Structure 1
Amino acid sequence: MVLAAKILLVIASIGLIIVVLLQSGKSAGLSGAIGGGAEQLLGKQKARGIDALLGKLTVVFGVLFMISTILLGYVLRAAA
């Protein structure tokens, strides 16, 4: 059980790192952060294609990472 949780954690970690690095930048500097936030709030800037897929994969790998971390912590505490 511990080995399976560790393997899941490593896969989720590597997947999350790769997916985040593949995403394109959303803004450029401080002015882009201020203006970009307003554009996203109003719905002018929609993610399409590969950006949408990478966004969904980021959520999936993030959830897998959190679940496997909690599972590994629970299993290691129960074993001690």
Structure 2
Amino acid sequence: MYNLLMTILLVVSVLIIFAVMMQPAKTDNALSSLTGGADDLFAQSKPRGFEVFMQKVTLVLGIIFFAVAIAMVYVSSH
């Protein structure tokens, strides 16, 4: 059981890495990295389409990651 959970954890970890790397960048220029993106603080733009999908995928994978990690701790202690 522990080996199965470890395999699932490794697969989910790789999928999280890909999901985070696939998300579109929030900043468009180097100036916002110097100013801290203060001009975007009050912007009312909502994420749409692919960006929303990738945020949901990342959230679900994160929840699965923590659930499997907790299950591994439980299995290893019993």
TM over 0.5: yes
- Residue 32 of structure 1 deviates from its aligned partner by 5.1
Name 1:29's counterpart in structure 2.
33
Please list, as runs of the form range in 1=range in 2, the aligned pairs for 1:1-16 lying within 5 A after superposition.
Answer: 1-16=1-16
Q: State yes or no: 1:18 paired with 2:56.
A: no
Amino acid at match of 1:51: E
Q: Distance in 2 between matches of 1:30 and 1:73?
A: 42
Distance 2:56 2:68 in 1: 18
Greater share of residues in helix:
1
Identity of aligned residues (%): 27
Instruction: Using structure 1 for the length normalisation, give the TM-score.
Output: 0.80
Aligned length, in residue pairs: 74
* Cα distance in structure 2, aligned partners of 1:72 and 1:14: 18
Counterpart residue type for residue 64 of structure 1: I
In structure 2, the partner of 1:60 is 60
Matches of 1:55 and 1:61, distance apart in 2: 10
TM-score after normalising by structure 2: 0.82
CA RMSD in angstroms comes to 1.5
Give deviations 1:20-69, integer Å, cap 9, x for gaps: 01111213414353232322xxxx21111111110000000100111111
